[in-house]
């Protein structure tokens, strides 16, 4: 069975930042998945299907995730995913809904508008999952345990109350986490937590609070290289994916090897 994983996107626009993917490029990614018989689903649906052990149910799934909850996700990605019958998970910040990404960012990324409750409800209505990215993009590695617990527990409680839906999935701000944070995420009631480590998910029961993902932030639009990256993604060729991604992304000089900037 080919290896499957969680694709990561941030902003879907032509703004041209290192975390932006142009709508046409995003559409090409989704079209490639669709033409290869793969359906994009939320993180929780993907993990539940893989954990069931039913290979027939999970072999044609790939999870799609959006970090931060940019307004462009509703405006650009939602109609494209709807067209293909796909869903996704959007990791939002409970205290930034309807605001801007005005937290400490990496590189030259501008602050961009974020979805408020109404567009997020439209995503929910389309079958998407709302996950938590914390309250305000506070780096958990700089917080005391009580602050880490507050970021995880309060964001989950507030999002569940506002949207009247369960919040099962967490995403570490900046992708930074420790073993204690994995325990805190579990204790806060989440089923999984995602990072920006690059990789596929071999077994969703192993380290479910430190899942790697497949960063799809592509700055260069060379069609041949993009096609090769998509092929590696679908075939589950991890080494080839990492190599191609290095070529296709413009990594900020102060981020870790292979890391996606997470604004």
CA angle 78, 45, 202 (to 5 degrees): 115
Place of tokens 């090409």: 28
The stretch near Zn ion (CB under 5 A) out of 60-68, 74-82, 102-110, 139-147 is 60-68
Q: Which is nearer to Zn ion, 58 or 194 (by Cβ)?
A: 194
Size of the site for Zn ion (CB under 5 A): 3
Q: Which is nearer to Zn ion, 67 or 76 (CB)?
A: 67
Span 156-175, contacts to Zn ion by CB under 5 A = none
Quick one: 157 or 176, whose CB is closer to Zn ion?
A: 176
For residues 244-263, which are near Zn ion according to CB under 5 A?
262
Residue in the shown chain whose Cβ atom is closest to Zn ion: 262
Q: C-beta of 68: minimal distance to Zn ion in Å?
A: 4
Residue 143 beta carbon to Zn ion: minimum distance, rounded to whole angstroms? 15
**From the CB of 213, what's the least distance to Zn ion, in Å?**
12
Given 11, 44, 45, 67, the residue binding Zn ion (CB under 5 A)? 67
Q: Which range, of 61-69, 77-85, 117-125, 177-185, touches Zn ion by CB under 5 A?
A: 61-69
Rounded Cα distance between 54 and 19, Å, is 34
Nearer to Zn ion, 148 or 232 (CB): 148
Q: Is 61 in the site for Zn ion (CB under 5 A)?
A: no
Q: Which of 11, 68, 76, 129 binds Zn ion (CB under 5 A)?
A: 68
The two three-digit tokens of residue 92, written as one number: 């939002």
- Site for Zn ion, rule CB under 5 A: 67-68, 262
């Amino acid at each position: 069975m080919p290896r499957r994983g969680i694709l990561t996107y941030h902003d879907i626009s032509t703004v041209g930042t290192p975390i932006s993917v142009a709508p046409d490029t995003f559409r090409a990614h989704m079209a490639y998945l669709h033409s290869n018989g793969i359906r994009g689903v939320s993180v929780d649906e993907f993990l539940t299907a893989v954990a069931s052990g039913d290979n027939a149910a999970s072999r044609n799934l790939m999870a799609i995730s959006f970090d931060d909850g940019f307004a462009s996700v509703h405006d650009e990605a939602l109609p494209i995913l709807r067209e293909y019958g796909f869903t996704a998970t959007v990791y939002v910040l409970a205290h930034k809904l309807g605001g801007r990404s005005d937290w400490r960012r990496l590189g030259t990324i501008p602050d961009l508008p974020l979805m408020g409750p109404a567009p997020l409800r439209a995503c929910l209505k389309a079958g998407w999952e709302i996950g938590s990215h914390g309250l305000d993009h506070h780096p958990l590695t700089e917080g005391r345990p009580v602050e880490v617990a507050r970021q995880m527990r309060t964001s989950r409680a507030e999002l569940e109350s506002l949207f009247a839906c369960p919040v099962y999935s967490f995403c570490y701000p900046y992708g930074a986490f420790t073993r204690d944070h994995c325990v805190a995420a579990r204790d806060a009631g989440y089923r999984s937590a995602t990072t920006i480590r690059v990789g596929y998910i071999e077994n969703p029961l192993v380290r479910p609070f430190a899942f790697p993902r497949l960063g799809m932030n592509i700055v260069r639009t060379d069609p041949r290289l993009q096609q090769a990256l998509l092929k590696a993604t679908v075939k589950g060729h991890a080494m080839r994916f990492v190599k191609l991604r290095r070529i296709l992304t413009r990594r900020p000089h102060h981020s870790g090897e292979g890391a996606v900037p997470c604004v």
